[in-house]
Amino acid sequence: MSLVANTGKLAGRTLFITGASRGIGKAIALKAAKDGANVVVAAKTAEPHPKLPGTIYSAAEEIEALGGKALPVIVDVRDEKQVQKAVDEAVKKFNGIDILVNNASAISLTGTAQTDMKRYDLMHNINTRGTFLVSKLCLPLLKSSNHAHILNLSPPLNMNPYWFSVHVAYTMAKYGMSMCVLGMSEEFKPYNIGVNALWPKTAIATAAIEMLTGDTSTSRKPEIVSDAAYFMLCKDPKTYTGVFAIDEDVVKEAGVKDMTPYACDPKNADNLLLDGFLDDPQALAAHNNVTLQAQSVRRYHTSARLCKEEKTDAPASSGQIPQLFASISKTLSAELVQKTQAVYQFNVKGKEEGVWHLDLKNGEGACGQGEPKNAPDATLTMDSKNFTEMFAGKLKPATAFMMGKLKISGDLQKAMKLEKMMKSLKAKA
């Protein structure tokens, strides 16, 4: 689904796209392929992933089916030799490179204490160093092109401290990509190379996001980004450079008036989750309470625990949450534990303030009031009303998180497993 018409301006041009085996990278590749462009599919995925569809070879087939030419190459952007080999192969097959799209990226939305250095290094080596490296090695070829562009999928440089506070390591890594735009756009002006950044206004539904959250209903399709990228890459690089663009603004400039078709669920077209780093009051409001750092909350210590083996020992306190955990305790099983492998702590605020736990990592599972016996993999903080709605299936964890109704510290991926777990609990109830 594309709302920006192809003009043929990229016909015969060669695009080198990192991370092009799936998601936004592939969407940009397919859009260019409709012009008859050549695409170097530079990504790590050579073998099918059990949960994430797409390889460099399947992407290449789709590109050629649309009229483009493709060169699939295995590239880890952290490896200089692999990148140089891919550049050399591009020259051999297509006689040069006109456009570089730095799309490959790693993400970990964790606070300082929760970010291990292996993950820190991965983000900085892929996002910042990878972008710099690929740009450096493609530069000699871009200098020889009469339509040279570098496009980084990175955010505007918003110096609001908030965007650093919620996930400083990730912010630094993404801003490293953006600083490449800031510096290279000025440095490469004498060579007539346009260097720009593109960032989505809303959450974008990709296979990776769907696997992580299980919910794309408040996201837009990748085509809004590929439409925007295409429009930007068709501009004159001599005059269009140093721009930090937002996808929605670009497609509006291209003539798109109705954004509804880009929404995964048209019913949510006016209620989409805004992306981060935007200098926008709505974006700040949506993320104001989203922090992955440990939160200081009042702890309630109690020995009363509900578990599979002690269902009848439910605490006598009234309210929806004790009843909820009593219901959950009846559905626990070794099978559910095996599937989930996570311990959760819930810091509930508001009317039914307290601390609760759900152990889906040990034995046949356990749940109840108080902190878990074993260290939690993820700690979730939210208001009691939102908490009960979440476990009732009325509010999805991913949606609650992005709207700022849910704060998470610890392992984000395990926290998002709650969505599938809750569906399983509901089916058994």
CA proximity to 182, closest of 269, 238, 243:
243
- C-alpha torsion sign, points 327, 330, 336, 342: positive
Distant-in-sequence contacts of 321-324, Cβ < 8 A, 24+ apart: 321/348, 321/352, 321/354, 321/356, 321/384, 321/387, 321/388, 322/369, 324/388, 324/391
Q: How far apart are CA 244 and CA 157, in angstroms?
A: 8
Q: What is the DSSP string of 335-372?
A: HHHHHH-EEEEEEEESTT-EEEEEEESSTT-EEEES--
Contact predicate 373/365, CB 8 Å: no
Report helix angle 384-391 to 320-329, nearest 10. 30
Residues 6+ apart with CB under 8 A from 113: 293, 294
The CB density around residue 84, as the number of other CB atoms within 10 Å, is: 14
57 classed as catalytic:
no
Q: How far apart are CA 159 and CA 314, in angstroms?
A: 49
252: helix, strand or coil: helix
Which one of 57, 120, 170, 230 is the catalytic residue?
170
What does DSSP say about strands 407-410 and 38-43: parallel, antiparallel, or unpaired? unpaired
Contact between 156 and 99 under an 8 Å Cβ cutoff? The reply is no
Number of helices (H), then strands (E), in the chain: 17, 13
Catalytically annotated residues: 170
